[in-house]
Chain A
């Protein structure tokens, strides 16, 4: 399984500012995903990021608000722009990896806990 790290692990930000979250994987992966988990809620997909192509965003999420970069097969960033308190969430990076099963599973990073004041 892939080992995923995220930076920062947590941050407290002022409204109107932006934060860039980094996701680093210990092996090359084709597909990376960014999810959001609002307080007390389950995970919601923000976008899918493939290396060499534009990210694909889910309904309700737009590139201007959540720009994503995917410069290589082991790294991605998600920026939360012009933040408001409603953006306070845990942001999770996910990748596909293999445990020897029929298909690849998805593994998650430790998350970035964002609080917007």
Chain B
């Protein structure tokens, strides 16, 4: 059974204080690892897909990395508008297309 664990559950940062969010996963074979951002009352917004260990992707202040057991979402010099819940999900290489999600990290960036 695929499993995704995210840590920490909640993170409070000062504006400009860089940090990382962790996503540990267990899957028989990985087709893709997804990162989403979710604002309160809205659906998840797609950020990145990572496919293989060593891969990195960047978008503005966000950088996602992938190893064989975990992924990190690095946030550099965050701003208050980066405050949201960040979700990690995995898709196995079994042909199953639905995603298994972690419980998310609630990020609050204070000015």
Interface positions of A (Cβ within 8 A of B): 1, 4, 31, 33, 41-45, 48, 58, 92, 96, 99, 101-103, 105-111, 113
Would you call B98 and A109 a contact (CB within 8 A)? no
Given contacts A102-B51, A103-B32, contact A43 B97 (CB under 8 A): no
Tell me the bound Cα distance from A44 to B101 in angstroms: 7
A-B contact count (CB 8 A): 56
- List residues of chain A with CB within 8 A of the CB of B99: 33, 43, 45, 106
Would you call A42 and B102 a contact (CB within 8 A)? yes
> Which residue of B46, B51, B98, B104 contacts A45 across the interface (Cβ within 8 Å)?
B98
- List residues of chain B with CB within 8 A of the CB of A33: 97-99
Interface class of chain A by DSSP: strand
> Which residue of B46, B51, B87, B103 contacts A107 across the interface (Cβ within 8 Å)?
B46
- List residues of chain A with CB within 8 A of the CB of B102: 42
Interface positions of B (Cβ within 8 A of A): 31-32, 34, 36, 41-46, 49, 51, 87, 89, 97-104
A110 to chain B, nearest CB (A): 5
B89 to chain A, nearest CB (A): 8
Would you call B51 and A42 a contact (CB within 8 A)? no
Interface centre among B42, B44, B45, by most chain A C-beta atoms within 10 angstroms, is B44
Given contacts A33-B98, A48-B97, A102-B51, contact A42 B43 (CB under 8 A): no
Tell me the bound Cα distance from A108 to B89 in angstroms: 13
> Which residue of A42, A106, A113 contacts B41 across the interface (Cβ within 8 Å)?
A113
Residue of A nearest to B104 (CB): A42
Given contacts A108-B44, A110-B42, A111-B42, contact A103 B31 (CB under 8 A): yes
Would you call B101 and A42 a contact (CB within 8 A)? yes
B108 to chain A, nearest CB (A): 15
- List residues of chain B with CB within 8 A of the CB of A108: 36, 43-46
Tell me the bound Cα distance from A93 to B102 in angstroms: 18
Tell me the bound Cα distance from A103 to B45 in angstroms: 17
B111 to chain A, nearest CB (A): 26
